[in-house]
Copies of this chain bind each other. A is one copy, B any other.
């Protein structure tokens, strides 16, 4: 009974991560039944994102301005650069407001399985930023996955020649984590990096 319009919307929604065909169908019905309170706001929000959001030419962040708010902010410490896989990781770190420096978004991770090669990521622009000088420390904040760590090692090699300090995020027991539920890899890292109690 669904018209082509409805089918197109269902398919567009079903392609979002976290939504399958069935839940997309339910979402479409919800949108149709709540035209004013659900469909209209979603439409306006999509239009505004589509019109206004741009990718920062320097770091790859997505913002309404280019260079983005972080790259344009003179109070950020230009000597520290944090390299992340995705914009999502940048946002996660930025939400905590713990890192005072600037960022560099790779746009993914090296993956033999998915055919992602170094030239598919923003690695050359990163090397260029470091080569221009003024950066003391590069934090390789890749995900603690095999592919993330492979990417970090590859980048570390590419930056070896430059006078920058390369660091990575600490591994260990997450806050609130119960030892019983942690994998052996995390436990091994946490034990190896154990510290004296203050």
Residues of A whose CB lies within 8 Å of any CB of B are 1-3, 5-6, 8-9, 11-13, 15-19, 23, 25-33, 35, 38-50, 52-53, 61-64, 69-70, 86-88, 90-91, 94-95, 107
- 19 pairs across A/B with beta carbons < 8 Å? A1-B69, A1-B91, A5-B53, A5-B64, A6-B49, A8-B48, A9-B46, A9-B48, A12-B46, A16-B27, A16-B31, A16-B42, A18-B18, A18-B23, A19-B23, A19-B27, A33-B86, A33-B87, A39-B46
Check A50/B46 contact, CB under 8 A, given A27-B18, A32-B62: no
Q: A32's contact among B2, B23, B53, by CB below 8 Å, is which?
A: B53
> For the complex, what is the distance from the CA of A33 to the CA of B53, rounded to whole Å?
11
Of the listed residues A38, A40, A43, A45, the one surrounded by the most CB atoms of chain B closer than 10 A to its CB is A45
Q: A5's contact among B43, B52, B61, by CB below 8 Å, is which?
A: B52
Q: Which residue of B lies closest to A28 (CB)?
A: B49
> For the complex, what is the distance from the CA of A29 to the CA of B89, rounded to whole Å?
11
Check A1/B31 contact, CB under 8 A, given A23-B18, A46-B43: no
B residues in contact with A45, CB < 8 Å? 5, 8-9, 11-12
B residues in contact with A28, CB < 8 Å? 49
Q: A63's contact among B3, B15, B40, by CB below 8 Å, is which?
A: B3
Q: A9-B46, A19-B19, A43-B47 are in contact. List 11 more A-B contacts (CB 8 A).
A: A1-B69, A12-B38, A12-B45, A13-B16, A16-B31, A17-B26, A17-B27, A19-B27, A33-B86, A43-B46, A43-B50
Check A48/B5 contact, CB under 8 A, given A13-B42, A88-B29: yes
